[in-house]
Structure 1
Amino acid sequence: MIKRMIGPILMGVIGIAILLWLGTWQVKRLAWKEGILAEITAEIKADPVPVPTMISTDMKYLPVTATGTIGQEELHVLVSRLDIGAGYRVIAPFELDDGRRVLLDRGFIKPEAKDVFRAGGPATITGNLHWPDDMNSATPDPDMSENIWFGRDIAAMATVLDTAEVLIVARADTGEGIEAMPVGIEGIKNDHLGYAITWFSLALVWLGMTLFLLWRIKTRTV
């Protein structure tokens, strides 16, 4: 009987050890990811600085403040918000006092406000530089006739609105009926806790299966 149990015991110990190692690795990855997210959060909430003269994509999340004029043109990006439902992000051109034109994410409007006139004009904006990860191979092309976009395609939007490929996401409301949707870490995946629970649960299941198999071997040899 003991010889018949050696194989299942070895497989059980090895399987449980591997699953526990994977779970522990995911716990370490969770701590690493939480550290990264804490750094990003601190960067997002830091004191704003004037918009740099030279801007590059490694300035993602940089808090900035800028004075200029919000243009009347708008692009509407279809989004969905928890507990609110569908609506649109309003993307408008923003001409800085130094003459540069950038994109401005003014915030969220409800569907019924899509075609409502929104005032632009002089404004001081506090927000964050951002290059969002909205686009992938499955994202549909914008419906130009209805002015509905399905992601913030910075390059395409800059071409349409004649701006630099730079986006400022406003931290505060920029007009009546527009609710700011500031940059945050909500869209950054952090699934490591779920993975850790999965591996530890599988280790528990493996232990149960191993004990059951050993019990079956024992009862058959009695």
Structure 2
Amino acid sequence: MKRILAPLIIGALGAGILLWLGTWQMQRLAWKEGILSEIETVIAGPPQPLPVLVDPSAQRYQPVMLTGAIEAEGLYVLVSVKRQGAGWRIVSSFVTDDGRRVLVDRGFTPVDQKDTPLATGAVRLRGNLHWPDDRTSSTPENDPAANTWFARDIGAMAEALRTEPLLVIAAEMSPPDAHVTPMPVDTSGIPNDHLQYAVTWFLLAAVWLLMTGLWITRSLKGKEG
């Protein structure tokens, strides 16, 4: 018994820690799914008026319906879209019927379409407010002179297009722009790897128990020998 006491203790302790980590990740998964469900509910909710006082934490993803005119000038943000490749997210200025100027993310166009004229004039637009966090430590600095942006920096874009620092991500425009595909906000870009982490911890616990079993078996065989 003394010979297998150490592997029993180490095996139980290690497996317990790994199982606890897996269970914790499952709890995190339930928490993240709840948050994603809340965000999806907000995204699909009824349109609200453009806010006068801006509160990004409370108004993120808020649906809006705008009528007014979209202007020709566009800022081009370099992106890569799955199954489509490299291209541009186009951010333009939008003048509402009551005279407010805001930013509108029209959507995606292929990388070779940068010089294609953009649709302008009166439109009805459905979309969501957003404060994107595109910039990381490895993101290059924007090059406004070449109209090449690497992040949707709302403050700099608003200054460039003389708008309020308020961005609407278009979900639908009427009439549509034939050269631009809307990229509505959704939860697909929000990381949710907790299930993968949980499975990893549970598999490690199984391997740990297997190795503990082998250790005990060898210890008993050694005793018999």
TM-score (norm 1): 0.96
How many correspondences in the alignment? 221
Counterpart position of 1:162? 162
- Alpha-carbon shift at residue 56 of structure 1 (Å): 2.0
- Alpha-carbon shift at residue 24 of structure 1 (Å): 0.8
**Match for 2:95: what amino acid?**
E
Q: Distance in 1 between matches of 2:140 and 2:189?
A: 20
- Alpha-carbon shift at residue 45 of structure 1 (Å): 0.7
Give 3-state SS (helix, strand or coil) of 1:149's partner. coil
Give 3-state SS (helix, strand or coil) of 2:144's partner. coil
Structure 1, residues 139-188: CA drift from partner, whole Å, max 9, x if none? 11112343111111111111111111110000114411110000000111
Structure 1, residues 35-66: CA drift from partner, whole Å, max 9, x if none? 11011001001121222333321200000011
After TM superposition, the structure 1 = structure 2 runs for residues 33-112 of structure 1, keeping only pairs within 5 Å, are: 33-57=32-56, 58-112=58-112
Q: Distance in 2 between matches of 1:3 and 1:52?
A: 72
Q: Does 1:21 align with 2:20?
A: yes
Counterpart position of 1:208? 210
Q: CA RMSD in A?
A: 1.2
Q: Which runs of 5+ in 1 are unaligned?
A: none
- Alpha-carbon shift at residue 220 of structure 1 (Å): 1.5
Q: Distance in 2 between matches of 1:45 and 1:113?
A: 31
Q: Which runs of 5+ in 2 are unaligned?
A: none
**Match for 1:187: what amino acid?**
G
Runs of 4+ in 1 over 3 A off after TM superposition: none
Give 3-state SS (helix, strand or coil) of 1:138's partner. coil
Q: Distance in 1 between matches of 2:210 and 2:110?
A: 52
Give 3-state SS (helix, strand or coil) of 1:92's partner. strand
**Match for 1:110: what amino acid?**
P
TM-score (norm 2): 0.94
Give 3-state SS (helix, strand or coil) of 2:95's partner. strand
Q: Distance in 2 between matches of 1:43 and 1:28?
A: 23
Residue range with higher mean Cα deviation, 178-187 or 211-220: 211-220
- Alpha-carbon shift at residue 116 of structure 1 (Å): 0.8
Q: Percent identity?
A: 49
